Structure 1
Amino acid sequence: MTTTVRRTELSEFLRAHRAAVSPADAGLPAGPRRRTPGLRREEVAVLAGVGVSWYQWLEQGRDITVSGQVLDAVARVLRLTDPERRHLYVLAGLNPPLPTEPAEQTLGADITRLLDGWLPNPAHVVDRYWNFVAANASARALFGWEHTIAGNCLVDFFTDALYRARYRHWERVAPTVLAHYRHEMTLHGPDDGYTAVLADLAERSTEFAELWSRQEVQPPNPTVKTLLHPRVGELVVEGRMLHLPDRPDVALVLHTPRNAESAARIAELTHSVPQPA
């Protein structure tokens, strides 16, 4: 997007959203002679605490200096949603803020249906720190979550003997796993949750400390894994982490068999899992 196009879209975006906010929405009297649909420019400026001329220049798409604090004030007056506020940042030439975490942290029925719909293949859900959230029957059987309570998937990857035994080439996979985790930290922004996970691992695993010091970063692209299961043997699968736009607090991890033998063995494993009464 060129600068000229961006400023034109900024002007159109602000005008459209200003027109969509009624005086009553903003706590203002409508007045008998109001011709402008929605709010007037000077009303937006006053309510946002900015100069009238400055807001007029902003809406005209002029080359002026803007700050996130002022854009947030304008977004509040125009009653922008979180995605709209982030779009306003982009049009104004600023890096958008991180998405706001949803107030509802429990999994909805739609995500549960996604997990079950992926059967007989494994699928599970983790939060932004890779704490285990939920899994379908296939994933529970594959990773040994049938009889244990899963914790943090990164911590278990390095410290849980059963979890490590599932990987034929654990040493090859480990650096990629950590590069993915560092990318997730960059995506969400470091905070105390990531600090706690990393501090826990640094105390419990010298292998983690050595690999983490490499400072490698890699997006979670599809990764081919060779997994071993004591009942059905070797499984070659492709793992994929999917971020859900409306739920930035969780990610869906899907595994797809790469050959017919693996598909048959995963189906056998899944069918052997006792179904809830």
Structure 2
Amino acid sequence: MAEDVTGSRRRAELRAFLMSRRARVSPAEAGLPAGGSRRRTPGLRREEVAVLAGVGASWYQWLEQGRDISVSPQVLNSVARVLRLGDAERRHLYVLAGLNPPAPEVAPERRDMCDGLRRLIDTWMPYPAHIMDRYYTCVMYNEAAAAVLGMGPGGSQNCLVDFFTDPLYRARSRSWESNARAVVAQFRAACAAAPGDEGLQAVLAEVSAASAEFTALWEQRDIEDAGQLRKELDHPLVGLLSVESTALKVPARPDLTIVLHTPLDEANTAAKLEWLASPEGRRGALYPVAG
């Protein structure tokens, strides 16, 4: 019964959504002649959407009515194109039609968000924060990440590769053994979500060739969503640091992951991070820890 109610609501929302999107697209925007009979409602008619999308008029009418009909991703993409849907709207259409939505894409107008993300991680000071792309490459980090986690111009700039190949990180990370399985399981989940992504396959090939330990963990086929990891690091200036890293996604930039490190109560970590960010701590930070 609950499923019937949910389906009824979804079909009603599908009808309202398609009607609202039709109303906002003018015939001229759709490439149709400006002439013709007077329109009772703004936007495109159902028949016009059907012709432009290459589907039958009856089929489109049934889709808009929310009838139980066969729907394919290719047809929904054609309808989305005619109705000039953005990426979020197109994925919403998939959900309303009862299909799994495609992977999110970065809208062109959202590609200029990096200044805002830079302000976000800089505001996180004196705690470490960095941003990775979909291939685990570090694209942005704050000063605390450089001082505490050793992020900088050196190294591969790939967080996954460095985790398994950077001897300095391995030597100073007390939590390496406990976190390695989760790191690999999260990377496998990312690869599974994009099986045809050549960039992810290139990273997989690189780290597999460089680390037998990674290969052994990869063969276990564990899957885990990115979330939180506890990290314990031995910093040469302040000793033990206990932090919790949290991976965050911004829906408008699905290609990026923000990783914020929060001090835990152990080892007076917050005070140590504040000292490392002070002028005195910066003068003494000659031997950063990779992470």
* TM-score normalised over the length of structure 2: 0.89
Q: Distance in 2 between matches of 1:24 and 1:149?
A: 54
- Structure 1 unaligned spans of 5+: none
Task: Let me know the Cα RMSD of the aligned residues.
Answer: 1.8
Deviations 1:103-154 (A, max 9, x none): 5767621011001100000000111110111110001111123573451100
Q: Given the superposition, is the C-alpha separation of residues 268 and 150 from structure 1 closer, same or farther in structure 2, using an over 3 Å criterion?
A: farther
**1:53 deviation in Å?**
0.6
Helix, strand or coil for the counterpart of 1:195?
helix
Q: Which moved more, 1:31-40 or 1:171-180?
A: 31-40
Which of 5, 10, 14 is the equivalent residue of 2:14?
10
Q: How far off is 1:101 after superposition?
A: 3.4
In structure 2, the residue corresponding to 1:165 is in which secondary structure? Answer: helix
Q: For the structure 1 residues 194 and 20, does the alpha-carbon distance in structure 2 shift closer, same or farther, using more than 3 Å as the test?
A: same
Match of 1:262 among 256, 263, 269: 269
In terms of mean alpha carbon deviation, does 151-160 or 222-231 score higher? 222-231
- Comparing 8-17 with 190-199, greater Cα deviation is found at 190-199
2:131 matches 1:125? yes
Contact 1:102–1:249 (Cα < 8 Å) also in 2: no
Name the CA distance, whole Å, in 2 between partners of 1:5 and 1:106: 36
Do structure 1's residue 100 and structure 2's residue 109 form an aligned pair? no
- How far residue 225 of structure 1 moved from its aligned partner, in angstroms, is 1.5
The amino acid across from 2:70 in the alignment is T
Q: How far apart, CA to CA, are the structure 1 residues paired with 2:23 and 2:270? A: 55
Question: Which of these residues, 234, 246, 252, is aligned with residue 252 of structure 2?
Answer: 246
Residue type at the aligned position of 1:240:
T
The aligned counterpart of 2:288 is none
CA distance in 2, matches of 1:105, 1:57: 37
Q: Percent identity?
A: 53
SS in 2 for 1:273: helix
For 1:205-224, list aligned pairs within 5 A.
Answer: 205-224=211-230
Q: 1:234 to 1:245 in 2, by over 3 A?
A: same
TM value normalised by structure 1: 0.93
Assess if the C-alpha contact under 8 Å between 2:106 and 2:252 holds in 1: no
Unpaired runs of 5+ in structure 2? 284-291
Change (3 A) 1:106 1:161: farther
Judge conservation of contact 1:144–1:162 (CA < 8 Å) in 2.
no
Is 1:56 the counterpart of 2:64 in the alignment? no
Structure 2 residue 57 is the aligned partner of structure 1 residue 26: no
- The answer as to whether partners of 1:82 and 1:100 remain within 8 angstroms in 2 is yes
Q: Which amino acid aligns with 1:273?
A: R
Partner of 2:42: 37
Offset at residue 23 of structure 1 (A): 1.2
Aligned residues: 274
Q: CA deviation at 1:27?
A: 1.8
Question: Corresponding residue for 2:286?
Answer: none
For residues 103-118 of structure 1, the aligned pairs below 5 Å read 103=108, 108-118=114-124
Work out whether residues 230 and 242 of structure 2, in 8 Å CA contact, stay in contact via their aligned partners in 1.
Answer: yes
Correspondence list, 1:136-215, <5 A: 136-146=142-152, 148-215=154-221
SS at match of 2:130: strand
- Correspondence for 2:81 among 72, 76, 79: 76
Q: Summarize the Cα distance change of 1:84–1:59 in structure 2 as closer, same or farther, 3 Å threshold.
A: same
CA shift, 1:231, in A, is: 1.1
